[in-house]
Amino acid sequence: MIIGSHVNYGSESLLGCVKQTLSYNANAFMFYTGAPQNSIRKKIDEENTKKAQELLKENNIPMTNVICHAPYIINLANKAKPEAWDFAVNFLKEELHRCELLGVSYIVLHPGSCVKEERETALKNICDGLNEVVDNDTKVMILLETMAGKGTECGINISELKQILNGVIFKNKLGVCLDTCHLNDSGIDISSFDNYLDEFDREIGLDKVKCVHLNDSLNPIGSHKDRHANIGYGTIGFESLINVAYNPRLKDVPKILETPYIEDHAPYYYEIKSILEKKFNDHLKEDVLK
């Protein structure tokens, strides 16, 4: 099982991410190169990156288990303010460059939000943006994340993802990240996940799935909310999430937890343990706080 969680890039950058990952007994991780809500980024530290890569190697963790997440502020869907759209395109280009320097091959991207644009226009804007960013020499694959449908989000069903993927020139530079909380909130029943995978395979192809975000949801199917819950503590439930984690069709795909902290403590060590043991932890809070 390739499994890990969101980790903090913080002071030691990639090296710190690897140390956290090892402390969670995980073999994969996802990070933001800075705060997810802003675009302030520091220079990549070469020494530190080298140490991180060595530590990964010592622990037999391939770089393909390492995922970056682009900040939320990048919105390629809305061209109403051309300067803002240009800024988003340039920022995404820089993020890809940072990933390249770190040796990271995947970056997850929220496709964007329409705001006041028509949905069709918004989807086209996303394609335009991606086509500005991606060319034949791009070494990092952009993974479009399945979204919950909160507000005016794009990429909220298979047909929208397909439309975006079809509008991109260098199609082999794009993939998809399935988020179980977002799928649930967008209207997909995770208890019959294989039906969803069947449809995804027919319409897009399962080979495009390069990452899974394994999260429970605080809200019912189709609620369009996007609020994550700890594994087994939400409306999706432990059984269904275990079935996603162990689905043989996604065997080689990293499963990344983005579940909420409990009173400022990361719950990942215990959640990963419960997934690996296939045993629901009904005293997660006590474990995390002890």
Site residues (CB under 5 A) for Zn ion?
A: 226
153, 160, 179, 185: residue in contact with Fe ion (rule CB under 5 A): 179
For the bound state, the minimum distance from the C-beta of residue 168 to Fe ion, rounded and expressed in Å, comes to 19
Q: Pick between residue 153 and residue 173 the one whose CB is nearest to Zn ion.
A: 153
Instruction: Report what 117 binds from Zn ion, Fe ion, none; CB cut-off 5-8 Å by kind.
Output: none
Candidates 22-30, 38-46, 154-162, 171-179; binding stretch for Fe ion (CB under 5 A) = 171-179
- What residues numbered 68-127 form the site for Fe ion, per CB under 5 A? none
Q: How far is the CB of 70 from Fe ion (least distance, A)?
A: 9
Residue 208 vs 213, nearer CB to Zn ion? 213
Handedness of CA 63, 265, 237, 273 (dihedral sign): positive
The window from 129-137, 179-187, 199-207, 272-280 that contacts Fe ion (CB under 5 A) reads 179-187
What is the nearest approach in angstroms of Zn ion to the Cβ of residue 118?
Answer: 25
Closest Cα partner for 34 from 44, 23, 48?
A: 44
**Structure letter (DSSP) for residue 27:** S
Cβ-based burial of 11 (10 A; exposed 0-12, middle 13-18, buried ≥19): exposed
Cβ-proximal residue to Zn ion, closest one: 226
What, of Fe ion, Zn ion, none, does residue 213 touch, CB below 5 to 8 Å by kind?
Fe ion
For 49, what's the count of Cα atoms within 13 Å in the CB-facing half-sphere?
Answer: 14
Report the residue number, 179 or 185, with the smaller CB distance to Fe ion: 179
Helix (H) or strand (E) holding 160: helix 158-166
Rounded to the nearest 10°, the torsion over CA 208, 211, 217, 223 is -30
Site string for Fe ion, 212-241 (x = CB under 5 A): -x----------------------------
User: Alpha carbon of 205 to those of 99, 158, 159, 192: distances in Å?
Assistant: 25, 11, 12, 18
Contact segment (CB under 5 A) with Fe ion among 21-29, 30-38, 51-59, 178-186 equals 178-186
Partner in contact with 226, chosen from Zn ion, Fe ion, none, beta carbon below 5 to 8 Å by kind: Zn ion
Beta carbon of residue 91, minimum distance to Fe ion (angstroms, whole number) = 16
Rounded Cα–Cα distance for residues 14 and 74 (Å): 22
Question: Which residues here bind Fe ion, judged by CB under 5 A?
Answer: 145, 179, 213
